[in-house]
Structure 1
Amino acid sequence: MALFNNQNREVFTEPLNLNNPIIVQVLGICSALAVTTQLRPAIVMGLAVTVITAFSNVIISVIRNTIPTRIRIIVQLVVVAALVTIVSQVLKAYNYDVSVQLSVYVGLIITNCILMGRLEAFAMMNKPWPSFLDGLGNGLGYAMILVIVGTVREFFGRGSLLGIQIIPDSIYQAGYMNNGMMTMPAMALILLGGVIWIHRAYFYKEEDK
């Protein structure tokens, strides 16, 4: 099918690995560090960015030929702001506790460089379907890294995942203690650096020779 030809598959899959927005393009780092103390807010933030990136790409792609060049950034910001507002209100209505945990970071999606980068670099020059796949792929690539970092930080920092205790009490009674550093922003940066190092060591070792 033309909808899933090689080019479209590449547009979708590249951000998941070889052109990941966080570990390759090094974008969206601030929110990645801020919302990964626990797995649940990391998942919700990743899904929120995925939805907003995908649909803002589609909207901008549909109207791209009618946007005056001089105000294209303003139009992009208005579209993203409208989608962020909708997502924020849905979170407050159906998952208020997580929306409180995410605090201002949902609103700051408006200025997320991943979104603005995809709108400017891809959606303004491509049709709606490839733009949707590009937004979806970049959002999921972003979410994947948040989930990895959030899982490690919550497990070793709190002994739980999604708020469910994973490490049994018997382990704690034997002397095990949670690693308090995992809940600190500095540890998030170290973990993210480790993920980047592992990814580049594995996928770029051929080029380094």
Structure 2
Amino acid sequence: MSTPSAAEILRNGLWHNNTGLVALLGLCPLLATSNSLVNGLGLGLATTLVLLITNTTVSLIRRWVNPEVRIPVFVTVIASAVTAVELGMHALLPELHRVLGIFIPLIVTNCCVLGRAEAFASRQAPARAALDGLAVGLGFALVLVTLGALRELLGQGTLLAQAEILFGEGARGLTLHLLPGDRGLLLAILPPGAFIMLGLLIAAKNAIDARARARPRPAPATAATVADGHVPT
């Protein structure tokens, strides 16, 4: 397997192969917990931490794992990382842990975690594996936060509602009320709204990529043009 550059790893994780918008993995927690910005951010950070721990660990032990048992070993590593993250959230962020509920332990079944362990971390050095886990996790968290912010804004007219469950009591006053009164769109915070919003995000990404591909690229300089002093700009 070729060794990608750090910039390529970041671009793939955050945009080109984004878990939520391109690979379409982990859609169950993505759609279920993205009814607010805070909930999406909480699960996104938890998933990022699990990916970081899992990728690094798998890369470190890859030379000692027999190929025939690699999948059970990887699943065990993932389950251990998820358990550690869940216990940490239960101790430090009990309210957020209660709100997210079953979707924290269900990170074990998120295909993107096992997929990155098998396809990338098991074949790369620890530093690159860790960067890949961070990039993929942040890409997933970005979709969760964007989807949660849109659904919360349209459905409740607020942003950062219940911020204290993630940032502590000092963040209780961070809630922004952007729509007056009870004028939210109920559909936005219901399950169908999650599917509609995600579809719109995917369409927006595809449109941005299509415009980028259609943009004219400068012609590469040839030996003849350089020799004549005509260097394309």
Q: Could you state the TM-score of these two structures normalised by the residue count of structure 1?
A: 0.90
Max radius of gyration: which structure? Answer: 2
Does 2:203 correspond to 1:192? no
**Structure 1 position 13, deviation (Å):** 2.5
Q: How does 1:104-143 map to 2 (within 5 A)?
A: 104-143=102-141
Structure 1 residue 57 and structure 2 residue 63: aligned?
A: no
CA contact (8 A) 2:156 2:183 kept: no
Q: Return the alpha-carbon distance in structure 2 between the equivalents of residues 6 and 81 of structure 1.
A: 28
What displacement does 1:111 show?
Answer: 0.8
CA distance in 1, matches of 2:4, 2:56: 20
| Paired position in structure 2 for 1:90 | 88
Distance in 2 (CA, whole Å) between partners of 1:135 and 1:80 is 12
Partner of 1:204: 210
CA distance in structure 1 between the aligned counterparts of 2:33 and 2:102, rounded to whole angstroms = 10
Question: Residue 35 of structure 2 aligns with which residue?
Answer: 37
* Structure 1 position 206, deviation (Å): 5.8
Structure 1 gap ranges (5+): none
**RMSD value, Cα:** 1.8
State how far apart, in whole Å, the 1-side matches of 2:59 and 2:4 are.
20
Q: TM-score, normalised by structure 2?
A: 0.81
The percentage of aligned residue pairs carrying the same residue is 32
Partner Cα separation in structure 1 for residue 52 and residue 185 of structure 2: 37
CA deviation digits over 1:140-189, x for unaligned, max 9? 00000000000011111112222124136xx33xxx61111111111111
Aligned to 1:166: 177
Larger relative contact order, structure 1 or 2 (CA cutoff 8 Å, min sep 6): 1
Give the match for residue 10 of structure 1: 8
The amino acid across from 1:167 in the alignment is L
Aligned to 2:184, which of 178, 183, 190? 178
Number of aligned residue pairs: 200
Structure 1 segments of 4 or more deviating over 2 A? Answer: 204-209
By how many angstroms is 1:55 displaced?
A: 1.4
Amino acid corresponding to residue 117 of structure 2 in structure 1:
L
Contact residue 159 and residue 178 of structure 2 kept, 8 A: no
